[in-house]
Amino acid sequence: MDGQMTSINVLDLPAAIAAALAKGKLSRAMRHIMPSFSLDTVEDLLLYTPPGSLDDVHSARFKRHQPAKGASSTNYDRLMGLTADQVALAYDQAAAYVFENRIAYGTALDLLQEEQWLSLGDPILDNALGGGGLSTHAITEIAGESAVGKTQLCLQLCLTVQLPHHMGGLDGSAVWLSTEGKFPYSRLESMISHFVSKHKEALPDLNADEIRDNIYFDSMADQETQLHIFNYQLPILIHDSHVQAQEGSDDDASQDGQSDSGDRNTGEDTSTTRSRKKPVKLIIIDSIANNFRSELHFSTPSTTDPSSGRRQGENQGFRSSILQRSAELCEIGLRLRTLADQYALTVVCVNQVTDVFEGEETTLPGAETSWNGSRTNARLLSRPLGDSMKLKKPALGLVWENTINARVVLQRTRVPEHQDPEAYSSSAGVEPQRTLSVVFSPWAANERGRGQGSGQCRYRIDASGVVGAEMPQ
């Protein structure tokens, strides 16, 4: 459930109420059913004692502890020896505590000053995304077929995130979590060298070692590893990097003070301090669907979800594994979003695409078939560009779609010879046409066909990375 648990000791409750909540005056029979009952955390109070009239307190049942039939009429006040008013007092204090200590509250103007944007490293691409690039505090999905340039774009983000704020970066480092094997080191090397030479004038200090030091990589071979990384390792890494960066900047300040007084360090020392670790500002997950898709059929039903899997049968097992997948997807999504908000991160999830089948046979829930693609539905990659008449849609379905904040789709099409020989022979050549489109995003107005900021642009991939090009009119 909720990760964070705070004891009710933080509340300013009368001692008698606090004691009653923490212990629970259970009769012997009740103790037999729920040996460890207590409402001794702020979270439990808020979840299990909804406010309201006496009636509501009486109807509150213990769902968490799954009491046996005989206990179903138990209610809090009788169980705890507290009156409804006393329970309500505790509830209100818990709400006030959570509000004051955990919830960020301000005006939209404050928020405006905090908002930061991560440039894609190219003005045309940024413009297609609404001007600034990707928003922090949010999850952006980049979906597309294989070899369309998803990884290239992500590598580019790993570089631009290290730029200072005035150049569109976040002055931070990147974490690359891969479910698809190796990190593309060689490609990164060539992009780094182009990146360094491109920014030589503005940033003479930029060096390849520092850039490499600020990209963390880990692979998530299976779902279990993935959950472990998301639940434990990633939050710790991010937290530590932010703390270190804070301390580092303090150290820098004090060292500057010292060097002013005349005692200069040797050359070696300065070179080690120069390669400083920046706080994590970008998380890239390449790709989110991989583990979920490969392990779908193998997950056993009844281990984590006791309510399912009772009824036997293939369908039931599949269905419960779908249930489990949904729950895990939601949990990962929520965790990433919370991290993104806490540390002002940009989270980028690479997603695969699946074919959209024609026809309407009802299939098992969760199968990746979907509605007829011939519909001009903005959620599909439906606009058939060139020869790509096979319709695609991003994987993982509606649950995941509800979890992300924005979706960007990359598409590649070859211009078929017979249809457009001129384009084929002249400017386009054999180079495929590539299009970036914003399917949805809360920050980019989608005004297709209205010129600037249209949520769509062409792009090409060269040695330096992904380069935008205007949409042909």
Partner 1 sequence: MSAPRPATTLRLSSGLRDKVLRSGYGTVADLRAVPTNDLVSELKLSSDQARELLHQLHPTSASWECFTATQTLELEQRSTPITTSSPALDSLFGGGLGVPPGKITEICGLPGTGKTQLGIQLCVNAQMPTAMGGAGGTSIYVDTEGSFIAKRALQFATACFEKLSTANNNQEIRAALDSKDLMQGIQYCRVHSPVELIAMVRMLDGIVRSHPKTKLIVVDSIAFLFRSNLSDINMRTKLVATLGRQLSDLARTYNVAVVVINQMTTKVDVPKASGLGQSQDMHPTSLIQPALGETWGNMCTHRIRLYNHGDGQRTARLFKSPTIQEQTVAFQILSTGISDAEDMDRPPYDDAELEFDPEESLLLWGAIDDDALYMVT
Region 385-414 residues binding partner 1, contact defined as CB under 8 A? 396-399, 401-405, 407
- Per-residue x/- track, 328-347, partner 1 (CB under 8 A): --xx-xx--xx-xx------
> How is residue 140 written in tokens?
């952006």
Contact residues for 151 (Cβ-Cβ < 8 A; gap 6+): 184, 187, 286, 350
411: closest CA among 438, 429, 377? Answer: 438
Q: According to CB under 8 A, which residues from 88 to 127 bind partner 1?
A: 91-92, 94-99, 102-112, 114-115
Given 8, 30, 34, 77, the residue binding partner 1 (CB under 8 A)? 77
CB of 177 to partner 1, least distance (A): 19
> How is residue 411 written in tokens?
């598409």
CB of 166 to partner 1, least distance (A): 17
Given 219, 377, 388, 413, the residue binding partner 1 (CB under 8 A)? 377
326: closest CA among 344, 347, 350, 304? Answer: 304
Given 31, 32, 51, 247, the residue binding partner 1 (CB under 8 A)? 51
346-351 and 353-355 as β-strands: parallel, antiparallel, unpaired? unpaired
CB of 91 to partner 1, least distance (A): 8
**Is 327 a binder of partner 1 (CB under 8 A)?**
yes
In terms of CB distance, is 184 or 453 closer to partner 1? 453
CB of 224 to partner 1, least distance (A): 18
What is the sign, positive or negative, of the torsion defined by CA atoms of 116, 163, 471, 354? Answer: negative
Which phi and psi angles does 439 have, rounded to 5°? -75, -50
CB of 299 to partner 1, least distance (A): 13
> How is residue 353 written in tokens?
């695409």
Total chain residues near partner 1 (CB under 8 A): 102
Rg (CA), the chain: 27
**Is 362 a binder of partner 1 (CB under 8 A)?**
yes
**Is 50 a binder of partner 1 (CB under 8 A)?**
yes
> How is residue 255 written in tokens?
């060292």
Helix (H) or strand (E) holding 255: helix 234-260
Which phi and psi angles does 445 have, rounded to 5°? -70, 130
**Is 378 a binder of partner 1 (CB under 8 A)?**
yes
280-286 and 346-351 as β-strands: parallel, antiparallel, unpaired? parallel
In terms of CB distance, is 278 or 337 closer to partner 1? 337
Stretch that binds partner 1, among 171-179, 273-281, 315-323, 421-429 (CB under 8 A): 315-323
